[in-house]
Amino acid sequence: MDSLAGRVCVVTGASSGIGRETALGLARLDADVVLIGRNPKRLTSTEQEVAAAGRGAVSSHLCDFSHLDEVRGLAKTLLDACHDIHVLVNNAGQVLQRREETVDGYEATFAVNHLAPYLLTRLLLERMLGSTPSRVATVSSDAYRWGLLDFDDLQTRDTSYRSMRVYGNSKLANALFAWELARRTAGTGLTSNAVHPGFVSTSLGRDNIAANVFLKLIRPFVRGAAKGAETSIHVASSPEGGERSGEFWVDCKPIEIQPKARDPEWALRLWEVSADLVGLPRD
């Protein structure tokens, strides 16, 4: 991995799990790391660990991605604090057992896993384009295979709520967003890629009883968070992560994925619908 000295790397969902390990890995490459999390105690602890891991500057900011106004506030804070932003790792995510709505009235998994990173990325995009070479790594999942976007019911109001199907929908949205962002920024010096961390045991499904039981049964076969973070770190720091854009990475390599995750009509429609939902221009 190349040294990231002087490079500002923002990591969301950084207070635990894959996000924490991603932040630690970037700090060991001497990046200036900006941690984003929603749990104050865990975030403070992680900030101390990350600061001890490298020679770059470390800072942290609280943000609950289920509140889009907090995401807007976070973006303003980052733009005020960071003259340059070179890397954004969209890592924050969740799985819920039952359907919940955010304060903005959106289905919570779709809001936290897709709308929030979409909003944050777009609000930071101009700064990142002015900081090239720069990179956006969006943590998706092989669960995108289960996803099938219904643009007439993105909030899962009209169909039965199945936790992992809804999660798969959000991960498909992540892959489509990363691909569309790559198309829109081609030739600018910014790369956009999606990442699958592998089947990792983290706190992601802490509110999902069935998922927790399943994870306990298969824990001996599940990779840890440090292993799961390797691909995010690779895409954020390696030479090829700065050369290749619009890819889906697994085990530090780009792979072929199902056509639905690169459907140009779906990608464009999702971009535009998402812009409408978060109150941004479509272009």
Give the catalytic positions in this structure. 167
If one counts every other C-beta atom within 10 angstroms of the C-beta of residue 45, the result is 14
Q: Helices 163-184 and 264-278 sit at what angle, rounded to 10 degrees?
A: 100
> Residue 248, SS3?
strand
Widest Cα–Cα separation across the chain: 51
What are the E-state strand segments in the chain? 8-11, 32-37, 58-62, 87-90, 134-139, 190-196, 248-250, 253-255
User: Where does 158-208 have alpha helices with state H?
Assistant: 163-184
* C-alpha–C-alpha distance, residues 128 and 55, integer Å: 23
Query: Using omega within 30 degrees of 0 as the cis cutoff, is the peptide bond preceding 133 cis?
Result: yes
- Helix-strand-coil percent breakdown of the chain, rounded to 5? 50, 15, 35
* C-alpha–C-alpha distance, residues 146 and 164, integer Å: 8
What are the E-state strand segments in 15-174? 32-37, 58-62, 87-90, 134-139
* C-alpha–C-alpha distance, residues 226 and 237, integer Å: 16
> Residue 252, SS3?
coil
